[in-house]
Chains A and B, each alone.
Chain A
């Protein structure tokens, strides 16, 4: 189903990662605002991709409704901020809590009653959809007309209230992505990680070696939901406007999963690489079209489709596993 993951930063991988991180930290000093926004988008997709990967790539549970958790995180933190003045530095905890409750509800329904595979994926879509419809009619947060945060121009960066320059948001996201990567790396080298992979590979065999499958699947769903909700908090305060059809839409869920699939399911670096490849190609395509003066709505989606087709046909495990082999990082063992 998904590529074998290796990661353990053996010396070489560790050096490469360090270089990449240094590069990402220095880039804001040299790039223009447009490129910074592209980089921010890449990091955003890398982060949510990583969050989704915990569930699908590691534990083998396909969620096609991950926009649910992003949207909940966004709305909860934004509503607390707008209505009660609770800063996102605190509000994110509430966002996580709500996402955990939803994740637990979906997980419980599915895993207790043996809903799996395609039906599980449908259940995740259903939850995302009815939450979207619910928020369309939820006037407290603006309903379908949208929910807006005041855009206050400040000349300083306020991390507590998440008001500030694009650079601040970029670094915040970089920290989140790096943190998420480290967390996943740690987990995959622990008992939990081994158990998730075992469940992904064969649930019956996993149970036979003493794994409480229900518990570990719940853990994967809830962790993935919590991580995704943080992306929502970021989105709310970065964009300052929220529309149910945008944030909970199935298009968003698909966008979340494309990066990890193209980069390499179940790998640690796949989501990051996938986000990079997709965004750079899509932006490149947009730039080229603009320069040529061609206007074709929906071309991005078609392009995503082609990318996906290409990867499925020629690199069924994603780009990273084959790239890793070429970089000679394979002998490092497990990652």
Chain B
């Protein structure tokens, strides 16, 4: 059984069909990338899964439980952690406090949450910055913090919304390494939206391509990047 089952998901905004009949599975332990041109409906798709909007049609199941239409906080408690495309740190809280807030999702004691937060910051290489206010971090650090906070909620599935955007290639490689390690060491399942193909190719075991709100291709990275439809609408000839 797949960890996440998305079936026939559809959502329109004032007649604009943002997502149309999208279905895919995310298997436990895999890294699945959702790619496609701007406006393809990737972020809407994420928001439907994460509970920001309720879908017009379709369903989302996590580990067999129907989570369609739940609020974001309920989805998080059900086991889906997410990051935001435009990072949303708790600016005036310290880096550690940001992650503690996430850890409190599973641990009700602040002391225990603090310990968990320190472990996660250590793992993501942010430990040295833990006492600084989140507002003082650089963009790559904020992206990292966003991931740390989502990780702290103890998710079965992590949704990453363009965490590589705006990063330099070396920083991207660092993040790729981090996610690889998380995936291999903790068995964390990851669903990511990404434009940075360098990261997608390095991370994803499978890729789903969206265009105009619909799935146009699905498969391993090797096949997808050779798919004529994908080349035409998104990657272009030079991608190869």
Binding site for B on A (CB under 8 A): 2-4, 189-191, 194-195, 197-198, 201-202, 204-213, 333-334
Chain A residues with CB under 8 Å of B82's CB are 208
B101 A198 Cβ-Cβ under 8 A: yes
A213 B73 Cβ-Cβ under 8 A: yes
Distance in Å from the Cβ of B194 to the closest Cβ of chain A? 19
Interface-side segment among B7-15, B89-97, B205-213, B216-224: B89-97
Q: How far is the CA of A31 from the CA of B87 in the complex (A)?
A: 55
Chain B residues with CB under 8 Å of A334's CB are 94, 97
From A3, A190, A197, A212, give the contact of B73 (CB < 8 A).
Answer: A212
Q: Could you list some 8 contacts between A and B, CB below 8 A?
A: A2-B92, A4-B93, A191-B108, A191-B109, A208-B82, A208-B84, A211-B101, A334-B97
B153 A197 Cβ-Cβ under 8 A: no
B84 A210 Cβ-Cβ under 8 A: no
Chain A residues with CB under 8 Å of B105's CB are 209-210
Known: A191-B104, A194-B104, A194-B110. A201 touches B91 (CB 8 A): yes
Q: How far is the CA of A206 from the CA of B98 in the complex (A)?
A: 10
A210 B90 Cβ-Cβ under 8 A: no
Distance in Å from the Cβ of A11 to the closest Cβ of chain B? 18
From A3, A201, A205, give the contact of B84 (CB < 8 A).
Answer: A205
B108 A209 Cβ-Cβ under 8 A: no
The residue in chain A whose Cβ has the minimal distance to the Cβ of B82 is A208
Q: Which 9 A-B pairs have the closest CB atoms?
A: A201-B90, A210-B76, A210-B105, A205-B88, A207-B72, A198-B101, A209-B102, A4-B92, A202-B88
Chain A residues with CB under 8 Å of B72's CB are 204, 207-208
From B90, B104, B110, B131, give the contact of A202 (CB < 8 A).
Answer: B90
The size of the chain B interface, using a CB distance under 8 A, is: 32
Chain B residues with CB under 8 Å of A194's CB are 97, 100-101, 104, 110, 113
Known: A201-B90, A201-B92, A202-B88. A207 touches B71 (CB 8 A): yes
Distance in Å from the Cβ of A287 to the closest Cβ of chain B? 39
A208 B76 Cβ-Cβ under 8 A: yes
Does residue B174 face the partner (Cβ distance < 8 Å to A)?
no
Q: How far is the CA of A111 from the CA of B223 in the complex (A)?
A: 49
Chain B residues with CB under 8 Å of A202's CB are 88-91
Chain B residues with CB under 8 Å of A190's CB are 110
**Other 16 A-B pairs with CB < 8 A, given A198-B90, A206-B90:** A191-B104, A194-B100, A194-B104, A201-B90, A202-B88, A204-B72, A205-B89, A206-B101, A207-B72, A208-B72, A208-B81, A208-B82, A208-B150, A209-B73, A209-B81, A212-B73
Does residue B133 face the partner (Cβ distance < 8 Å to A)?
yes
From A198, A212, A213, A333, give the contact of B93 (CB < 8 A).
Answer: A198
Does residue B118 face the partner (Cβ distance < 8 Å to A)?
no
The residue in chain A whose Cβ has the minimal distance to the Cβ of B76 is A210
Q: How far is the CA of A208 from the CA of B101 in the complex (A)?
A: 11
A209 B93 Cβ-Cβ under 8 A: no
A191 B102 Cβ-Cβ under 8 A: no
Does residue B149 face the partner (Cβ distance < 8 Å to A)?
yes
Q: How far is the CA of A197 from the CA of B133 in the complex (A)?
A: 13
Known: A194-B104, A197-B90, A202-B88. A209 touches B110 (CB 8 A): no
From A189, A191, A209, A212, give the contact of B149 (CB < 8 A).
Answer: A209
Distance in Å from the Cβ of B50 to the closest Cβ of chain A? 7
Q: How far is the CA of A191 from the CA of B94 in the complex (A)?
A: 16
